[in-house]
Structure 1
Amino acid sequence: MMTMDAQERPNSMPDRRPRVSVVCPFYNEEQIIERATLEMCERLQASFPGDFELIMVNDGSTDGSHDHLIEALQTVKLGPVRVLSYPFNQGRGRALKTGIDAARGDIIVTTEADGSWGEDIVARLVAFLDTYPAYDFVVASPHRSGGGLVQVDPRRAFLSRAGNWLIRNLFESNVTMNTGMTRAYRRSVIQPLVVFESGKEFHLEVLLKLLALNFVAGEIPAVLTWQTHRLARDPTAKRKSSTRIRRTIFTHLRFLVMAQPVRHFAVLGAATSLLSLIFLALAMRNLFIGEPSGLFALVGLNLILFTLMLIGTAVTLYQVREVMIENWMKYYPKPHPPSARPLKTEHGFTAD
């Protein structure tokens, strides 16, 4: 169950719909939550005077994050801030979806509140969608030319680069940051999307589904800086990442199998069919020279059967995927956004 604080009750909201909604989830961030939120409000007020809302989603924090934030917002009035709260932790994906569903702006931005993606990142994302109306959403990427990773643990930086390279090539996507949270969507594109993942896999699920529905993605370079002390109440406190690397890798691979089933199983099928031909050729050779050939023939035939199973699995998963896509589209009110299915348009991306 989600609770509402005084900052977000309906009678405290302006009647006019804001142009930009910014959604920032947080969990156990009592060291930085006050200054991060206040600085985010100041940046939004400078970029979109009176035409924004900031939605902070408390994902069941067990420290003083929520109380510190409410106290700060009651002390300093900076703009329309809404605080949504869960009584227990449900995961970043669920927090983001909750904030997205509550957003009223025409453009919805999801990002970290601490400015780790750059102080101007929200303005740049919104400017991109304003400048290029053919794009449905835009992703901030440290892997684009002009972007980068600063003060990020080398192991995590390597996994990010390698993982996104793998996803990009397996999914045939030009997006270089498939797993990042910092993005901007048109409200008509993101709010109707059916999403099931509650954790950080949410980012990849959203991206793969939007691309499967033929929505058009853009991308801008951004520098991601791991913030440690700048906003902390206690300068000696250290922030910890909540990413579970093994679980994240497993779930991301699962998404990729469903995203491109024919391609992945076709590669396996080609490999097993080649092996079957080799074993059958060996069986024929042994037959002609009078050597035992039964084992080679048996292995070759079994590999042929396995190849047929892979082909059948690929076809089945493809059909399941198509049915799922049709079901996702049912949640989009007519008329559908121009780039969505059933139009057969290619995905467009910006140059570096």
Structure 2
Amino acid sequence: MMNMNQKPFLSVVAPCYNEEAILEINIETVKKYLESDKNKYDWEIVIINDGSKDKTAEIADALVDKYPNRVRAIHHPTNLNLGNAIKTGFKNSRGEVIVVIDIDLSYAENYIVEMTDKLIETSADVVMASPYMKGGKVTAVPFFRRIMSSWVNRFMRMAAQDKYHTFTGMVRAYRKEFVQTLNLKTKDYEINPEIIYKGMILRAKMVEIPAHLDWTEQNKFAGKRTSSLRVLRSFFSGLMSGFIFRPYIFFIGIGAILMLLSLYELLWLFYDVLSDLAQSSSVLLPGEERSFSHSLAAEFKQNPQSFLVGGITFIISIQFLSLGFLSLQSKRYFEELFHLGTSIKKQTVNQNIS
């Protein structure tokens, strides 16, 4: 718990992979900004070098030597991807509040304090910087990347029970006591929606603040940085992350649509069979009979494709609806187990601290 009689201690986590072009200048920028607010928060900067192949490690170590009381560097021997870099940052942060930043400072350094202020003011567990909510703004982001990011977040907003605007953003402030008890599994970009999803399960208080995502400075380093996100991969991983929020909605939704289509087709066939039966009965000679099965056989002979499409669609719809109810049951089991596991982990952490 935060001691309000002392300055809150803030850990700024900066995951890096091949960032030799911008690491030093941007860490200096963050340090200068935090020093301007030194009467408000105590702080440290934790650089997570995720197995960079350029001079990122050497630059990070030089910054530690230059500012030994303020900057720390942790090195992964190989590239373990963004999710593992963020988890390393969580594990090794000493602050009561952990702020994850993007080292390109596409979200300006002032959001470090703004998010921390909001987290303390609202007693939140997570505060997210959101360019897609009212008051947020996006500048100089390439059109293709901007459109995909926007639509992935809209998709997640539609799928999730709690309607946030930015699920994929990594620039956030966390209450250490909360985030260090999360059992996080994903290894890459999916960690950001995973945190929100598991926060929802635990009924965590998560708040968004409007933010300006600005790539103006980042675009100046085009061709000099090798750490750019793989756009299509992050897009599809975002879609899959959206699926985990409420998978049963997709199965039941598809099943319901297919069921309606199949019933439409089958009801028209049933109507045609009854019409044929009525017309045939009116022209039969005395003593002759026209059964329902004869009319059905005649209709099948005339329109076999309608029977085939309607029947197969009906069977597939049943399968999707069944998967929907099974996924709903599985989701509830997972949430109960996650609640239990988190409670046990939290008790263990508290016992170790005491």
TM-score normalised per structure 2: 0.81
Q: Does 1:260 align with 2:250?
A: no
The answer to whether the 8 A contact 2:197-2:245 is kept is yes
Alignment of 1:24-39 (within 5 A): 24-39=14-29
Question: Which residue identity lines up with residue 116 of structure 1 in the other structure?
Answer: S
1:315 aligned to 325, 329, 332, which one? Answer: 325
Deviation track 1:259-299 (CA, whole Å, cap 9, x = no partner) reads 21222122111111111211211221332325523553444
Cα distance, 1:295–1:86 mapped onto 2, change above 3 Å: same
Task: State whether structure 2 residue 313 is matched by structure 1 residue 303.
Answer: yes
State the shift of 1:44 in Å: 2.1
Letter in 1 for 2:113: A
Unaligned ranges ≥5, structure 1: 1-15, 338-352
SS, match of residue 325 in structure 1 = helix
Residue pair 1:258, 1:317 contacting (<8 A) in 2 also: no
Is it true that 1:191 corresponds to 2:180 in the alignment?
yes
Alpha-carbon distance change, 319 to 273 in structure 1, aligned in 2, over 3 angstroms: same
- Offset of 1:208 from its aligned partner? 1.7
* 1:163 alignment partner, SS class: helix
1:178 and 2:167 matched? yes
Query: Where in structure 2 are the equivalents of 1:50-61 lying within 5 Å?
Result: 51-61=42-52
Secondary structure of 1:57's partner? strand
1:201–1:251: 8 Å Cα contact kept in structure 2?
Answer: yes
Residues 1:131 and 2:121 aligned together = yes
Indicate the residue corresponding to 2:84 in structure 1. 94
The partner residue of 1:165 within 147, 150, 154 is: 154
Query: Matched residues in 1 for 2:106 and 2:310: separation?
Result: 56
Match of 2:142 among 143, 153, 173: 153
1:109–1:185: 8 Å Cα contact kept in structure 2?
A: yes
Larger radius of gyration: 2
> Match for residue 231 of structure 2?
245
- Residue identity in the other structure for 2:315: L
TM-aligned CA deviation for residue 30 of structure 1: 0.8
Which structure: greater helix fraction? Answer: 2
Letter in 2 for 1:119: E
The 3-state SS of whatever aligns with 1:71 is helix
Aligned-partner Cα distance in 1 for 2:147–2:232: 14
Between the aligned partners of 1:24 and 1:305, the Cα distance in structure 2 is 51
Which moved further from structure 2: 119-128 or 284-293? 284-293
Does 2:92 correspond to 1:84?
A: no
Contact 1:136 1:186 (8 Å CA) reproduced: yes
Q: Distance in 2 between matches of 1:52 and 1:205?
A: 27
Q: Secondary structure at the match of 2:258?
A: helix
Instruction: Select which of 269, 289, 292 maps to 2:299.
Output: 292
* Alpha carbons of structure 1 residues 102 and 149: separation in structure 2 relative to 1, 3 Å: same
Write the distance in 1 (CA, Å) between the matches of 2:58 and 2:129. Answer: 31
Name the SS of the counterpart of 1:314 in structure 2.
Answer: helix
> Structure 1 residues 237, 166: closer, same or farther in 2, change over 3 A?
closer
CA distance in 2, matches of 1:241, 1:174: 31
Deviations 1:167-205 (A, max 9, x none): 111224321111010011111221111222211121112
User: 1:32-90 CA deviation, whole Å, 9 max, x = no partner?
Assistant: 1112112212222332457222111000000011102212332x327422211011111
Q: Contact 1:18/1:104 (CA < 8 Å) preserved in 2?
A: no
Coordinate RMSD, CA, aligned:
2.6
Confirm or deny that 1:277 pairs with 2:263: yes
Structure 2 counterpart SS, 1:127: helix
Q: Secondary structure at the match of 2:207?
A: strand
Give how far 1:156 is off: 0.9
Distance in 2 between residues matched to 1:17 and 1:85, nearest whole Å: 29
Q: State whether residues 18 and 56 of structure 2, in contact with CA within 8 Å, keep that contact through their aligned partners in structure 1.
A: yes
Instruction: Map Cα deviations across residues 96-140 of structure 1 (whole Å, 9 max, x no partner).
Output: 01111111222111112343211210000000011111x221110
3-state secondary structure, aligned to 2:129: strand
Deviation of 1:336 after TM superposition, in Å, equals 7.0
Asked if structure 1 preserves the Cα contact closer than 8 Å seen for 2:21 and 2:224, the reply is: no
Task: Sort the Cα spacing of 1:90 and 1:261 in 2 relative to 1 into closer, same or farther, 3 A.
Answer: same
8 Å contact from structure 1 (residues 40, 113) kept in 2: no
Letter matched to residue 171 of structure 1: A
Separation (CA, whole Å) in 2 of partners of 1:18 and 1:214: 24
Distance 2:173 2:157 in 1: 20
Q: Which residue of 2 aligns with 1:117?
A: 107
**Alpha-carbon distance in 2 for matches of 1:73, 1:312:** 57
User: Cα distance 1:326–1:280, how it changes in 2: closer, same or farther (>3 A)?
Assistant: same
Moved more, 243-252 or 96-105: 243-252
Matched letter for residue 128 of structure 1: K
Q: Distance in 1 between matches of 2:222 and 2:251?
A: 51
Determine the C-alpha separation between the residues in 2 that align with 1:266 and 1:236: 45
The one-letter amino acid paired with 2:80 is Q
Whether the 8 Å contact between 1:30 and 1:64 is mirrored in structure 2 is: yes
Query: Which position in structure 2 is the counterpart of 1:66?
Result: 57
Aligned residues: 317
